[in-house]
Amino acid sequence: MDDEPPGAADNAPAPAAAPNGTKAQKGSKHRRIPRPAPPPLLARFPKLFWFRKIDKVWPKDWPVITQKQITQYKALAPDLEVWTKQFESRFRRLDHEAQKLQNQFWRQNVVLIIGGLIATTLGATQAALGGGNVWLAVATAVLTGLLAGLTVLIRSRRAQQGYLTARLKAEQIKSEYFLFLGRVGDYATGDPVARLKQQVDDIEAAEGST
């Protein structure tokens, strides 16, 4: 008979446990726990000191054109090498300048925020003590004066405007190159390489250069 007695499935012996040292256990033993990402505020927190030079290679630079792409797309290799040999360094310099000025702008505003918090704390402490503390009053006045001077300095140096200008120029150079690569518009006729060089020269020389 093919019919099983009632409860046969329930009374079936449990499968034997896997012996120690199996691949599954080894894999779980050496499994790496992913490191938690830092909070966004700390990840984007400005650097206090900036030692990198804009003309050098930075660790997190991402290439617009890679050597692998030049090798893979042989028909486009001459045009791709135009970027790596003539325009990569010019784009990268503006890209680095934009990052440097962005960090400077963030750092200045962080100093203003922290300074404002300290000044507010000193004022609240003075009020809590009932006033009359000369040292707290002097410290608050000096700090407030420094913050006012720093605000004027930040506006005069125009780090944000410099950052936006450098970023815009870097992206314009990259956009012009892709137009050149597709032979679109003015790049469809004549000498496209000479045209691209002239366009990049004009972008770098535009008003507001950093």
Domain map of the chain by residue range? 64-205
Average pLDDT on 12-17 reads 51
Question: Which tens digits make up the pLDDT trace of 66-93?
Answer: 999 999 999 999 999 999 999 999 999 9
Q: How confident is the model at residue 37 (pLDDT cuts 50, 70, 90)?
A: low
pLDDT at 207: 72
User: At residue 188, what is the residue type?
Assistant: A
Percent over 70 (pLDDT), the chain: 79
Burial grade of 163 (CB within 10 A; 0-12, 13-18, 19 or more): buried
Decide if pLDDT at 27 tops 90.
no
Q: Would the pTM count as exceeding 0.75?
A: no
Average pLDDT on 123-129 reads 88
Neighbouring residues of 197: CB distance < 8 A, sequence distance ≥ 6: 86
